[in-house]
Structure 1
Amino acid sequence: MVRLRDRRLRIGDLADYLGLEKSTMTGLVARASAKGLLAREPNAEDARAVDVVLTDAGHEVARTLEAAMRGALLPLTERLPVTDRRELRVLLERMLR
């Protein structure tokens, strides 16, 4: 869900990013859609394709998860010297792109 915070992705692209089979991703998207967290919308460039997007409820869950992760990691990262924390941040941002 965090990956979809600021972008629209096709199910296949999302599956590739997460290292899942497309059929598995389709099932996950269907379940999240049923819970009102994700929606499927037509792709603007390819009429045959469908994008996955976060709903307002999905955005709220993503924000809550991000805050929880920050809270859980803060005690660990605070132990690191400032230069190591900067390096860790750069590496994590590179990994998540």
Structure 2
Amino acid sequence: MRKPELAAAIAEETGLSKNKAQEVLNAVTDQISAALAKNEPVSLPGFGNFNIRERSARTGRNPQTGASIKIPASRSVGFKAGKPLREAVN
């Protein structure tokens, strides 16, 4: 399911217009992004938790040449599904 399909499903379930549902969906994703940018975890009970994961700098290898390369430290977004979501999938 893509974002427009999700917005259409929200509109159908809530009785909102498709445009209004798209605005709501955009607002939710913007707020999640803003919180994660501030290094704040986001918890959606029954769905899951988003958090920032730190990756330390490390040495890797170029698969074509075999040369060592330095991979800088970075941050990435992690997601852990909540129990109801895990049960729904299984």
TM-score in terms of structure 1 length: 0.30
Structure with bigger gyration radius: 2
Normalized per residue, which structure has more strand? 2
Query: Quick check: which one's helix share is greater?
Result: 1
RCO higher in structure (CA 8 A, sep ≥6): 1
